[in-house]
Structure 1
Amino acid sequence: MSAVKQNKALDFMKDYALYFVLLLLLVVIISKDASFLSLTNFSNVLTQSSVRIIIALGVAGLIVTQGTDLSVGRQVGLAAVISATLLQAVDNVNKVFPDLGVVPIPMVILLVCAIGALIGLVNGVIVTVMNVTPFIATLGTMLIIYGVNSLYYDYVGSAPIAGFDGAYSAFTQGFFDIGGFRLSYITIYAIVAIALMWVIWNKTRFGKNLFAIGGNPEAARVSGVNVTLNLIGIYTLSGVFYAFGGLLEAGRIGSATNNLGFMYEMDAIAACVIGGVSFSGGVGTVFGVVVGVVIFTLINYGLSYIGVNPYWQYIIKGSIIVLAVAIDSLKHAKKNKRFACLLRGRLKTIFRFHRRNKGFQTAFIIGGGEIPIHINVGSVTMTARPAWKEAV
Structure 2
Amino acid sequence: MLQNELQKQNASVTKTSLWGSLFGKMDVRAYTMVGALVLIWVLFGILDPTFLTARNLSNLFTQMSVTSILAIGMVLVIVAGHIDLSVGSIVGLTGGIAAILSNWMGLPPIIVIVGTLAAGAVLGLVQGWLVAYKMIPAFIVTLGGMMVFRGVLMGVTESMTIPVSDPVLAMLGNAYFAKGFGIIIAAIAIGLFIWSAIRKRRSRQKYGFEVASLGVDMIKIAVISLLIISFVLIMNNYKGIPFPIIFVIALAVIFYFLSTKTTFGRHIYAIGGNKEAARLSGINIHKKTMLIFLLSGLLSSIAAIVLTSRLASATITAGTMAEMDAIAACVIGGTSLMGGAGTVIGALIGALVMTSLDNGMSLMGLESFWQYVVKGSILVFAVWLDISNRRKGVK
TM over 0.5: yes
Taking the aligned partners of 1:120 and 1:275, their CA distance within structure 2 comes to 24
1:226-375 to structure 2, matched below 5 A, reads 226-337=284-395
Query: Does residue 52 of structure 2 align to residue 51 of structure 1?
Result: no
The AA in structure 2 aligned to 1:248 is V
- CA change 1:125–1:307 in 2 (3 A) is same
Aligned residue for 2:116, secondary structure, equals helix
Taking the aligned partners of 2:35 and 2:252, their CA distance within structure 1 comes to 26
Taking the aligned partners of 1:85 and 1:168, their CA distance within structure 2 comes to 13
Q: CA deviation at 1:21?
A: 5.6
- Specify which of 80, 86, 110 is matched with residue 106 of structure 1: 110
Q: CA deviation at 1:150?
A: 0.8
Aligned CA RMSD, in angstroms, stands at: 2.0
Taking the aligned partners of 1:334 and 1:14, their CA distance within structure 2 comes to 15
Query: Does residue 67 of structure 2 align to residue 63 of structure 1?
Result: no
User: Which stretch has the larger CA shift, 123-132 or 16-25?
Assistant: 16-25
- Specify which of 108, 116, 120 is matched with residue 116 of structure 1: 120
Taking the aligned partners of 2:173 and 2:334, their CA distance within structure 1 comes to 29
Q: Is the 8 A contact 2:33 2:350 kept in 1?
A: no
Q: Is the 8 A contact 1:14 1:331 kept in 2?
A: no
Q: CA deviation at 1:269?
A: 0.7
Q: Is the 8 A contact 1:18 1:323 kept in 2?
A: no
User: Which stretch has the larger CA shift, 141-150 or 128-137?
Assistant: 128-137
Name the structure, 1 or 2, with higher relative contact order (CA <8 Å, separation 6+). Answer: 2
Q: Give the structure with higher Rg (CA).
A: 1
The AA in structure 2 aligned to 1:173 is N
Taking the aligned partners of 1:14 and 1:147, their CA distance within structure 2 comes to 38
- CA change 1:15–1:76 in 2 (3 A) is closer
Aligned residue for 1:175, secondary structure, equals coil
- Specify which of 122, 127, 133 is matched with residue 131 of structure 2: 127
Q: Is the 8 A contact 2:109 2:169 kept in 1?
A: yes
Unaligned stretches of 5+ in structure 2? 1-26, 180-235
Q: Is the 8 A contact 2:71 2:327 kept in 1?
A: yes
Q: CA deviation at 1:18?
A: 6.0
Taking the aligned partners of 1:113 and 1:81, their CA distance within structure 2 comes to 12
Query: Does residue 232 of structure 2 align to residue 175 of structure 1?
Result: no
- CA change 1:187–1:321 in 2 (3 A) is same
Q: Deviations over 1:233-286 (max 9, x none)?
A: 111111000011101111012222011000001111111111111112111222
- Specify which of 34, 46, 50 is matched with residue 31 of structure 1: 46
Taking the aligned partners of 2:279 and 2:28, their CA distance within structure 1 comes to 36
Q: CA deviation at 1:63?
A: 0.6
Taking the aligned partners of 2:30 and 2:387, their CA distance within structure 1 comes to 12
Taking the aligned partners of 2:40 and 2:118, their CA distance within structure 1 comes to 40
Unaligned stretches of 5+ in structure 1? 1-11, 89-96, 338-392
- CA change 1:48–1:127 in 2 (3 A) is same
% identity of equivalent residues: 38
Higher share in strand? 1
Taking the aligned partners of 1:50 and 1:118, their CA distance within structure 2 comes to 23
Aligned counterpart, 1:216: 274
The AA in structure 2 aligned to 1:221 is R
Taking the aligned partners of 1:20 and 1:174, their CA distance within structure 2 comes to 31
Q: Is the 8 A contact 1:76 1:245 kept in 2?
A: yes
Q: CA deviation at 1:203?
A: 2.1
Aligned residue for 1:176, secondary structure, equals coil
- CA change 1:15–1:292 in 2 (3 A) is closer
Q: CA deviation at 1:115?
A: 1.4
Aligned counterpart, 1:191: 249
Q: CA deviation at 1:28?
A: 3.7
Q: Deviations over 1:110-157 (max 9, x none)?
A: 212211111111211222222222212211111111111111121xxx
Q: Is the 8 A contact 1:84 1:164 kept in 2?
A: no
Q: Is the 8 A contact 1:55 1:245 kept in 2?
A: yes
Q: Is the 8 A contact 2:87 2:300 kept in 1?
A: yes
The AA in structure 2 aligned to 1:132 is I
Q: Is the 8 A contact 1:277 1:289 kept in 2?
A: yes
Aligned counterpart, 2:89: 74
Taking the aligned partners of 1:18 and 1:245, their CA distance within structure 2 comes to 24
TM-score scaled by structure 2? 0.75
Q: Deviations over 1:198-246 (max 9, x none)?
A: 1211222111110100110000000110111100111111100001110
Aligned counterpart, 2:145: 141
Q: CA deviation at 1:16?
A: 6.3
- Specify which of 255, 262, 269 is matched with residue 204 of structure 1: 262
Q: Is the 8 A contact 2:164 2:309 kept in 1?
A: no
Q: CA deviation at 1:183?
A: 0.7
Aligned length: 312
Taking the aligned partners of 1:117 and 1:250, their CA distance within structure 2 comes to 18
Q: Is the 8 A contact 1:56 1:269 kept in 2?
A: yes
The AA in structure 2 aligned to 1:55 is L
Taking the aligned partners of 2:140 and 2:394, their CA distance within structure 1 comes to 27
